Amino acid sequence: MSFSAKKDPKGVIVIGVDGQLIVGNRHELKQRLTEALEGGERKFLIDFSNTGYIDSSGLGVLVSLSRKIREADGELRLAGLNEDLRTLFELTKLDTLFNIADSAAAALASF
Amino acid sequence: MVISVRVPTDLQVVEEAVDVVARHCLASGLTPRAARFNLRVALSEALANAIVYGNGLDPSKSVEVRVVVASNGFAVHVCDEGSGFNPAEIPDPTLPERIGRPDGRGLFLIRQLVDDVSFNDRGNAICMILRRA
């Protein structure tokens, strides 16, 4: 499991989650985004195209980051969720809380 | 057949433990989606709960995972060394007043992703049933 980060030409920080987002690595994602937010970044996209599964701790970190970013007048979007991950968001009703795009390209176009 | 794994009280090993169990269950006939998704998420939740809330992150304690493979399905038991909890006291995390909270979704997800869930009287052992398709 690992995270990749890059900044697209529109100034969006794109974080890729490779592997799982679970209790063992959720703090790393939180730290990366929090540091970027504190560094002045305001537009974030988390791309789950290469993600296996997310547990409730991972979902919790996303909820927590969403609030932080919103409070800083920033934007967080999610993209690339496979069928399993979409099911998770639907079961927990978190699909109502997040802006979710089908693909990273679609999400980036909407910023 | 029975698959037994003793897991140390360490959140960093949850992924590996889940992977080991899921691979064995897949090889024993669990459907690929159930092995990839339902079992992995449910077991990950049960292990995290056992490690954090059950064993209180005490490294001297461990968590026992035992999977009983039967003709009609899989019974996944996760038992910690804690004093247990009352699952009936866990609120629904999808309620409007709770949906913005970062915590409290573990047991809810387990209930959604497996076919049946039960606990022992003490509340320190969960049994999750995944039926064969």
Beta bridge pairs of residue A7: A13
Do residues A66 and A98 make contact, with C-beta atoms less than 8 angstroms apart? yes
Q: How confident is residue A1, by pLDDT bands cut at 50, 70 and 90?
A: low
**Which of the two residues, A24 and A4, has the higher pLDDT score?**
A4
Interval B57-86: pLDDT, tens: 999 999 999 999 999 999 999 999 999 999
| CATH code of B110's domain | 3.30.565.10
Choose the closest CB to A56 out of B12, B13, B45.
B45
Asked if the ipTM is above 0.95, the reply is no
| C-beta atoms of A55 and B48 within 8 A | yes
User: Based on C-alpha coordinates, what's the Rg of chain A?
Assistant: 13
Domains of chain A, start order: 2-109 (3.30.750.24)
Token pair of B23 as six digits: 């691979």
Instruction: Look at strands A43-47 and A75-79 and give their pairing.
Output: parallel
The structure's pTM equals 0.91
Interval A5-39: pLDDT, tens: 999 999 999 999 999 898 888 899 999 999 999 99
Q: How close A66 comes to chain B (CA, Å)?
A: 9
**Torsions phi, psi for A87 (to 5 deg):** -60, -45
Q: Could you list the residue range(s) of the whole structural domain that residue B14 is in?
A: 2-131
By C-alpha distance, the chain A residue nearest B40 is: A53
Which parts of chain A are beta strand (E)? 2-7, 13-21, 43-47, 51-54, 75-79, 99-101
By C-alpha distance, the chain A residue nearest B15 is: A24
Widest pairwise Cα distance in chain A: 35
Q: How many domains does chain B have?
A: 1
Q: Three-class SS of residue A3?
A: strand
Q: How close A9 comes to chain B (CA, Å)?
A: 31
Q: Is the pLDDT of residue B31 over 70?
A: yes
By C-alpha distance, the chain B residue nearest A58 is: B102
Which pLDDT does position B46 carry in this prediction? 96
